[in-house]
């Protein structure tokens, strides 16, 4: 299996996973054109589409793609998404025929209420397609859900194995790290990750996929119980934040203002 990040729009990636016979799936095709071009250039056959949530930059290419490729489309149970053939729910196990792969479905509300993630442990290195829930060094904005929902969703994802590859939909890593360093300027993990990502981006490479293990140390939203992070949050707000939930909400709100 080979994993590709097809750039789309300004900072989206449409993830494509292909087997040795060039049968592939794509995740969140917000735009059909770059996918069609990639399939043609690489003589690939589309076998399935996965959808994480209803936002246009994740579903915009669905109609046009499925006209040419009438493949199964797995996504959330949301009637506003035209083109889903298989609505899937938390705990569902998807068995794809082509490429031959299994995925577990996790409901991860927060960014939107319909947001789901797809986890595969049928590969030598497990893989997570998490849409706009977990970003490298950040998390999605709360358009529909509460901070508690997002926090719970992130905790479910970080319960996955450390070596699980994390495929997020946006190249937000550098911007997220600028915020992380505003919160904790001296943090060794934030600084190290910033240097690594700067080198990748300077070489024209995506900063993704990340891994669950890397996110646990270099993502401030997964570290709100960290003592120094708590102090920084309390300084920013000018009041004590005893509860984990308060700290998560305060960090998310700070990022929104940043």
Binding site for Fe ion (CB under 5 A): 57, 132
Task: Assess whether 244 carries a catalytic annotation.
Answer: no
Task: Assess whether 163 carries a catalytic annotation.
Answer: no
Q: Which residue is nearest to Zn ion (CB)?
A: 55
Smallest separation, CB 102 to Fe ion (Å): 25
* 147 contacts: CB under 8 Å, gap ≥ 6: 110, 245, 248, 249, 252
Beta bridge partners of 7: 13
**171 touches Zn ion (CB under 5 A):** no
Residue closer to Fe ion, measured from CB, 55 or 247: 55
Q: Which residue has the tokens 């203002």?
A: 257
Smallest separation, CB 59 to Zn ion (Å): 10
Please pick, among 55, 114, 115, 187, the residue that the annotation labels catalytic. Answer: 55
Cβ–Cβ under 8 Å, residues 174 and 201: yes
Task: Assess whether 111 carries a catalytic annotation.
Answer: yes
Beta bridge partners of 165: 127, 211
Among 55, 165, 170, 255, which residue sits at the site for Zn ion (rule: CB under 5 A)?
55
Task: Assess whether 86 carries a catalytic annotation.
Answer: no
Q: Which residue has the tokens 């797809």?
A: 118
CB atoms within 10 A of CB 94: 17
Among 114, 132, 171, 215, which residue sits at the site for Zn ion (rule: CB under 5 A)?
132
Cβ–Cβ under 8 Å, residues 60 and 30: yes
Smallest separation, CB 210 to Fe ion (Å): 17
The whole-angstrom separation of Cα 49 and Cα 112 is: 20
Task: Assess whether 187 carries a catalytic annotation.
Answer: no
Task: Assess whether 58 carries a catalytic annotation.
Answer: yes
* Catalytically annotated residues: 53, 55, 57-58, 111, 132, 170
Query: Where on the chain is the footprint of Zn ion (CB under 5 A)?
Result: 55, 132
């Amino acid at each position: 299996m080979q994993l590709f990040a097809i750039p789309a729009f300004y900072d989206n990636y449409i993830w494509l996973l292909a087997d040795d016979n060039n049968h592939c799936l794509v995740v969140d095709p917000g735009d059909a054109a770059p996918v069609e071009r990639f399939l043609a250039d690489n003589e690939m056959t589309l076998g399935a589409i996965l959808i994480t949530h209803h936002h246009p930059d994740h579903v915009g290419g669905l109609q046009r793609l499925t006209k040419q490729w009438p493949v199964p489309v797995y996504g959330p149970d949301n009637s506003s998404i035209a083109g889903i053939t298989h609505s899937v729910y938390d705990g569902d196990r998807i068995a794809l025929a082509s490429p031959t792969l299994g995925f577990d479905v996790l409901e991860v509300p927060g960014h939107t209420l319909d947001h789901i993630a797809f986890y595969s442990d049928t590969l030598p290195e497990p893989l997570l397609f998490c849409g706009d829930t977990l970003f490298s060094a950040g998390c999605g904005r709360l358009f529909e859900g509460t901070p508690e929902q997002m926090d719970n969703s992130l905790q479910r994802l970080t319960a996955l194995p450390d070596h699980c590859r994390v495929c997020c939909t946006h190249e937000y890593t550098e911007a997220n790290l600028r915020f992380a360093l505003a919160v904790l300027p001296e943090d060794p993990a934030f600084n190290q990750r910033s240097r690594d990502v700067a080198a990748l981006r300077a070489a024209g490479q995506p900063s993704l996929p990340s891994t669950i293990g890397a996110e646990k140390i270099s993502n401030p939203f997964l570290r709100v119980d960290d003592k120094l992070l708590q102090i920084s949050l309390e300084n920013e707000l000018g009041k004590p934040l005893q509860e984990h939930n308060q700290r998560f909400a305060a960090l998310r709100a700070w990022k929104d203002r940043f």
